[in-house]
Amino acid sequence: MHLSVSNLSAIRGGEMIFSDLGFELKETEALIITGHNGSGKSTLLRVVAGLLAPASGDVILTGHPDGASDDFNERPFGEHCHYLGHENAMKPALSVTENLDFWQKINDEPHLEIDEALEMVGLPALAHVPFGHLSTGQKRRISIAKLLVSWRPIWLLDEPTAGLDTRSEAQFADLMKVHLEDGGIILAATHIPLGLKNTKSLVMGLPAIETEQSI
């Protein structure tokens, strides 16, 4: 599996947000996108996810993971991604289990059981609590559990650790490591170190440079 993004530009409201961005990622690799506020990190992730049309450039995925169906590369790119945006995409009136169960059914390809996923984010006791009753950090962790209940090779994470305490951050770093070891790809926009080693990094708001480094 090889993700290749080339020559990508995005225009929002007549203003060029970024232009001529490019990077290459293959299985087990992560790209950390950094940059000051308004530099276009979120826009980049939304363009890659297919939620915004790019002004130019392509997002191309070649090859497919072991065991993937034959039409893997023909399906829209967004179908291979988990997108964790600023919002948690959960309904406050439904319980945690009902929310996760819904996304698992909608996304198909179940991965972990809901109980297991809640165990992984350290909130097994909250399964039947309405989502709206949780704290900000707990909500975020449930949203992270959503990434685990169905399998998507590519994770697009927009400020994934917003609202998390240090212990949960470490826990999330472990989950990301496991995902990379399973042959996944991660693109994360953040301004705090995520605790991953050997990641590629992309600094937005500067002339496009791509460097290999350890964070």
Partner 1 sequence: MIALFLRDIRLSWRAGGGALTGVMFFLAVVMVVPFGVGPDLNLLARIGPAMLWLGALLAALLGLDRLFQADREDGSLDLLIMNGAPMAAIVFIKCLAHWVTTGLPLVIAVPLFGLFMNMEPLGILATMATLMAGTPAITFVGAVGAAVTVSLPRGGLLLAVLVLPWTIPVLIFGVSAAYGAVEDPAPFTEPFIVLCAISLFFAVIGSLGAGAILTHSDH
Residues binding partner 1 (CB under 8 A) = 46, 49-53, 75-76, 78-79, 81, 83, 85-91, 93-94, 98, 101-103, 105-107
Min CB(153)–partner 1 separation in Å: 14
Min CB(163)–partner 1 separation in Å: 14
Min CB(139)–partner 1 separation in Å: 11
Min CB(211)–partner 1 separation in Å: 30
Min CB(79)–partner 1 separation in Å: 4
Query: What's the CA gap between 199 and 212, in Å, rounded?
Result: 7
- For residue 63, the tally of other CB atoms under 10 A from its CB is 12
What's the 3-state SS for 50-83?
A: CCCCCCEEEEEEECCCCCCCCCCCCCCHHHHEEE
Q: Which is nearer to partner 1, 16 or 170 (CB)?
A: 16
Q: Which is nearer to partner 1, 51 or 178 (CB)?
A: 51
Min CB(141)–partner 1 separation in Å: 16
